[in-house]
A = this chain, B = another copy of it.
């Protein structure tokens, strides 16, 4: 009950703050972001000290070395956060843009004007630097944000939010624009996603279980993806060398992320030429192959794929490989198993690539490029706060502009409806 009233109180304050933020000029927001960057550097000793509390708790709790590594803040990471703030300050301000304008036969002048969403609830399990990234994108787009980070990062997140809030205050802006929920209680998520009177959108990032829970129970609209089961289809008209380079990159450059490739589909006519040398590259990179029967014939060291391997997000140096008799079979496979995240075709045939790009129902579809490019920065959005595989609002990477919406502004001369 105490938790509920505390979070509701935070949400009310966030909504009040958002009313101020709605009308901010770009210069004020950028000044705040730059001041925040300076504060993080000035106060890095304090940040590192608070972070040490999280680290020692994490060690006591027996967290894995890789998790502890993700949690640790040092001068380099803090400098990275400060740079990120400067970069967001340098991005254009989406708010206030008139996206369309037209006149009605009765003389009404109609405009669509870009406005902030209002209050964003951001739920995440990641490194503490995500706190700063997310807060900066929300502020730049004129939104207040309530952050619910992983409990293992609470002390770090609280000091970061405190410094960001101090910077806001110093510049005359409401510190409640950026608030971290000061609780490790998992119930906090349930409370937050019920507050539809104060929150406009929830963005959850983390494990599939968390995101399914949020999606099932939230009264606030949710932008999210459950997982990235990304496919690459190597067509019979592919350049085999390009195909190998792209597929290898998509699998091994960072296997633990959502835009890494999980299933490789290979056209039967190129499989004999392509797969043996591709599999050598995989073996050298330590990638395990789980193949269809035809694949296993061509690559004797490959494991036979189990049924459950299709559509699985391995997040690891594992790839499922299937030989298909034509592109239609590849498209059917993707239609069945894709997570609507990212799929690519490798081909030099223009008709094939255009059909693939048109047919595949994913947020990012690529020809002759790595799936790893589904990323706000890589695609040129400047930054992203997540990736959305539901079709609403912003399908794909959620950039600054996607943290806004448009309202209709109508100017008349006394028109009435007849």
List residues of chain A with CB under 8 Å of any chain B CB. 19, 22-23, 102, 104, 108, 110, 115, 117-118, 196, 200-201, 215-216, 219, 221-223, 239, 242, 245-246, 249-250, 253, 335, 353, 357-359, 361-370, 372-374, 378-380, 390-393, 395-397, 405-418
Which residues of B are found within 8 Å of A250, using beta-carbon distances? Answer: 416
Copy tally for this chain in the complex stands at 2
Q: Does the CB pair B379–A104 fall under 8 Å?
A: yes
Q: Does the CB pair A369–B414 fall under 8 Å?
A: yes
- Closest chain B residue to A111 by CB distance? B357
Kindly name the residue among A221, A246, A353 whose own CB sees the greatest number of chain B CB atoms within 10 A: A221
In the assembled complex, the Cα of A22 lies from the Cα of B393 at a distance in Å of 19
Which residues of B are found within 8 Å of A411, using beta-carbon distances? Answer: 353, 357, 366-369
Kindly name the residue among A215, A363, A408 whose own CB sees the greatest number of chain B CB atoms within 10 A: A408
| Pairs A–B under 8 Å by Cβ, sample size 18 | A23-B359, A104-B379, A104-B380, A108-B373, A115-B361, A118-B391, A200-B390, A200-B392, A216-B219, A239-B414, A242-B414, A246-B414, A357-B409, A368-B415, A378-B417, A393-B405, A396-B407, A397-B408
Expressed in whole angstroms, the minimum distance between the Cβ of A236 and any Cβ of chain B is 17
The 10 A-B residue pairs with the shortest CB-CB distance in the complex, in nearest-first order: A369-B412, A249-B416, A372-B417, A242-B414, A366-B410, A364-B408, A393-B393, A392-B393, A221-B392, A368-B412
In the assembled complex, the Cα of A97 lies from the Cα of B409 at a distance in Å of 25
Expressed in whole angstroms, the minimum distance between the Cβ of A201 and any Cβ of chain B is 6
Which residues of B are found within 8 Å of A395, using beta-carbon distances? Answer: 405-407
In the assembled complex, the Cα of A408 lies from the Cα of B412 at a distance in Å of 38
Q: Does the CB pair B215–A219 fall under 8 Å?
A: yes
Q: Does the CB pair A373–B410 fall under 8 Å?
A: yes
Expressed in whole angstroms, the minimum distance between the Cβ of A76 and any Cβ of chain B is 20
Expressed in whole angstroms, the minimum distance between the Cβ of A343 and any Cβ of chain B is 11
Q: Does the CB pair A246–B416 fall under 8 Å?
A: yes
Question: Given the interface contacts A414-B246, A416-B246, does A391 sit within 8 Å of B405 by beta carbon?
Answer: yes
> Contact check: which of B390, B396, B408 meets A396 at CB < 8 Å?
B408
